[in-house]
Amino acid sequence: MRDVRRRTWLLVAGGTALALVAGGTGVAVSQSRERDARAAANQEQLARGCKGLFPGELSSFVPDDSAGVLTEYGTMLAPRQQSRALLDCTLSWGGGAARVEPDARVRVRAEAVLGRTDAPDGGFELPLPSSALGGSGAVDRRDGGEVSATLLAECPKGLSGRIRASKDLRVFVALPSRADSEYDVSKADRLLAERTAVRVADRVSREQGCGARLLTGAAKPEGSASLCDWLSPKALEFARGDWKFYDNDKTYSERAGSCGGRWDDTAGRAAEPKTAAAGVDSWSGVLAPSAYDRFGGDGDVPGSDRHRHKPDGEGRLTVEKSGDDPLLALWARSVCDGGPTFHRATVVPALDFADQDEVLLEKRDRRRMSADARALLDRYLAADDGWARRAHCRDTQIMGEVEEWQG
In 27-45, which positions are buried (b, 16+ CB within 10 angstroms) versus exposed (e)?
A: eeeeeeeeeeebbeebbeb
Residues 201 and 302 in one domain: no
Comparing 407 with 151, which gets the higher pLDDT? 151
CB count in 10 Å sphere of residue 225: 12
What integer best gives the mean pLDDT of the chain? 85
Per the structure, the count of domains in the chain is 2
Residues 371 and 252 in one domain: yes
Of the candidates 215, 194, 204, which has an alpha carbon nearest to the alpha carbon of residue 158?
Answer: 204
Of the candidates 239, 281, 299, which has an alpha carbon nearest to the alpha carbon of residue 387?
Answer: 281
Q: What is the pLDDT of residue 97?
A: 57
Residue 7 lies in a domain: no
Residues 176 and 241 in one domain: no
Residues 258 and 302 in one domain: yes
Asked whether 231 and 261 are in contact (CB, 8 A), the reply is yes
Q: What is the mean pLDDT of residues 317-333?
A: 84
The yes-or-no verdict on residue 142 having pLDDT over 80 is no
- Between the alpha carbon of residue 145 and those of residues 54, 90, 181, 186, 355, the distances in Å are 18, 16, 5, 10, 43
Asked whether 93 and 176 are in contact (CB, 8 A), the reply is no
Q: What is the mean pLDDT of residues 233-256?
A: 87
Of the three residues 175, 193, 208, the one that is the final residue of a domain is: 208
Q: What is the pLDDT of residue 28?
A: 58
What percent of the chain stands above pLDDT 90? 50
Can you give the C-alpha Rg of the chain in angstroms?
Answer: 30
Residues 118 and 66 in one domain: yes
pTM of the model: 0.84
In tens, the pLDDT along 261-278 reads: 998 876 555 555 688 899
Residues 245 and 319 in one domain: yes
Residue 9 lies in a domain: no
- Which of helix, strand or coil describes residue 347? strand
The yes-or-no verdict on residue 4 having pLDDT over 80 is no
Q: How far apart (Å, rounded) are the C-alpha atoms in residues 354 and 349?
A: 15
The yes-or-no verdict on residue 255 having pLDDT over 60 is yes
Backbone angles phi, psi at 205, to 5 degrees: -60, -40
Q: How far apart (Å, rounded) are the C-alpha atoms in residues 343 and 24?
A: 73
Q: Which of 91-105, 166-180, 270-284 has the highest mean pLDDT?
A: 166-180
Residue 312 lies in a domain: yes
Residues 165 and 103 in one domain: yes
Q: What is the mean pLDDT of residues 246-264?
A: 90
Residues 391 and 245 in one domain: yes
Residue 20 lies in a domain: no
Residue 243: domain span? 233-404
CB count in 10 Å sphere of residue 172: 19
Of the three residues 208, 223, 250, the one that is the final residue of a domain is: 208
Give a three-class secondary structure readout of 82-108: CCCEEEEEEEEECCCCCCCCCCEEEEE
pLDDT band at 110 (very low <50, low <70, confident <90, very high): very high
Residue 11 lies in a domain: no
Comparing 65 with 228, which gets the higher pLDDT? 228
Residue 26 lies in a domain: no
Q: What is the pLDDT of residue 269?
A: 58
- Which of helix, strand or coil describes residue 201? helix
Asked whether 44 and 52 are in contact (CB, 8 A), the reply is no
Q: Which residues pair with 172 in a beta bridge?
A: 109, 150
In tens, the pLDDT along 36-52 reads: 777 788 899 999 999 99
In tens, the pLDDT along 336-362 reads: 999 999 999 999 988 777 777 888 888
Q: What is the mean pLDDT of residues 209-214?
A: 89
Q: For 211-215, 228-232, 252-256, 376-380, which range has the lowest pLDDT when averaged over its residues?
A: 211-215
Backbone angles phi, psi at 253, to 5 degrees: -130, 130
Q: What is the mean pLDDT of residues 223-252?
A: 85
Residues 395 and 264 in one domain: yes
Residues 355 and 247 in one domain: yes
Residue 225 lies in a domain: no
Tell me the HSE value of 34 on the side-chain side, using a 13 A CA sphere: 9
Residue 281 lies in a domain: yes
Residues 160 and 238 in one domain: no
Residues 184 and 132 in one domain: yes
